[in-house]
Structure 1
Amino acid sequence: MRKIDLIVVHCSATRADKPLSPEQLEQMHRQRGFKCCGYHFYVRRDGKICTMRPVQQEGAHAKGFNRNSIGVCYEGGLDEQGRPADTRTELQKRALRVLVRVLAMDFQTRRIVGHRDLSPDLDGDGIVEPEEWTKMCPCFDVATEL
């Protein structure tokens, strides 16, 4: 088993008014050249947690961090106009909290971040501020919620 010391939360960057099935997510990743979905877990709007890639297998979700992390993605992240927004349903919020807690307990890790939090610290002050984010993903502050 590989060493896991990081959980990275993502959004699928899809509109709140357009569903994205696990099969469609998988297809999107295959079209980008991945063997399968890059995330380990996918949380649907109804709160269903889908296993997408075995945890034992290195992910393809956060360049430079895949070797030691688990990728968790939720369906959504864009409003009806296609702008970044926290579109999580209450069921998704609950499912994400439970999933992340279980994974953190199972792998004894406390480092849980959003994809945007892995952006480079451009001004070198030790904090990745919003203006330094290379992506908005996952469109909510993981540190305060999870």
Structure 2
Amino acid sequence: MRTITLIIVHCSANRAGSALRMADIDSYHRSLGWIGCGYHYVIPTDGTIEPGRPEEMVGAHCKNHNRHSIGVCYIGRLSKDGKPADTRTDAQRIALRNMLERLRRRYPDALIVGHRDLDPQKVCPCFDVANEYHDLQPC
């Protein structure tokens, strides 16, 4: 069993309204020679929570942090004109919170962070994860 200390929120860097799904990310990551989707969960614009890589497997979503984290990715990040923005739909907001609540019950000591909190070169996921989910953080 892996020790999980981080739950990392990502975005896919697609334009708002993208029809991308976990299967598309899985195909792309396989084309890179990976064993499949690097995220453990993907949340398309309709708010469906799609499983990617099994939680017991190390992800491929955040350099230097994969061994001790779970990666959750929402589809979006770019506004219609291609600028970084929080493009989550209402359905994605609800699904992401529900997913994070479930993961916190499973991993009560894990911090919930955004990719950008671990790599200042990134803007992903285009919102302040720690602030938005402060009520879910460990005491």
TM-score if structure 2 supplies the norm length?
Answer: 0.91
Matched with 1:144 is 131
**Matched-pair contact (CA < 8 Å) for 2:9–2:113:** yes
Letter in 1 for 2:72: V
Q: Which residue of the partner structure matches residue 97 of structure 2?
A: 97
Give the 4+ runs in structure 1 shifted more than 3 A.
none
Q: Structure 1: 5+ residue runs without aligned partners? A: 120-132
Residue of structure 1 in register with 2:69 after alignment = 69
CA distance in structure 2 between the aligned counterparts of 1:73 and 1:87, rounded to whole angstroms: 13
Cα root mean square deviation, aligned: 1.0
Instruction: Report what 1:117 is aligned to.
Output: 117
| Contact in 2 for aligned 1:17/1:79 (Cα 8 Å) | no
Residue deviations 1:73-128 (CA, integer Å, cap 9, x gap): 00111111221110001110011011011101111124110000002xxxxxxxxx
Letter of the structure 2 residue corresponding to residue 108 of structure 1: P
What's the secondary structure of 1:72's corresponding residue? strand
Aligned pairs for 1:1-146 within 5 A: 1-119=1-119, 133-146=120-133
Runs of 5+ unmatched residues, structure 2 = 134-139
Tell me the secondary structure at the aligned position of residue 42 of structure 1.
strand
Q: Considering only CA atoms, is the larger Rg found in Structure 1 or Structure 2? A: 1
Shift of 1:28: 1.6
Name the SS for the 1:60 alignment partner: coil
**Paired positions, count:** 133
8 Å CA contact retained: 1:104, 1:110: yes
Is residue 42–residue 75 contact of structure 1 (8 Å, CA) maintained in 2?
Answer: yes
Taking structure 1 as the reference length, what is the TM-score of the superposition?
A: 0.87
Letter in 1 for 2:51: T
**SS of the residue 1:14 aligns to:** coil
* Distance 1:17-1:99 versus aligned 2 partners, 3 A rule: closer
Equivalent residues of 2:42, 2:72 under 8 A apart: yes
Amino acid at match of 1:79: S
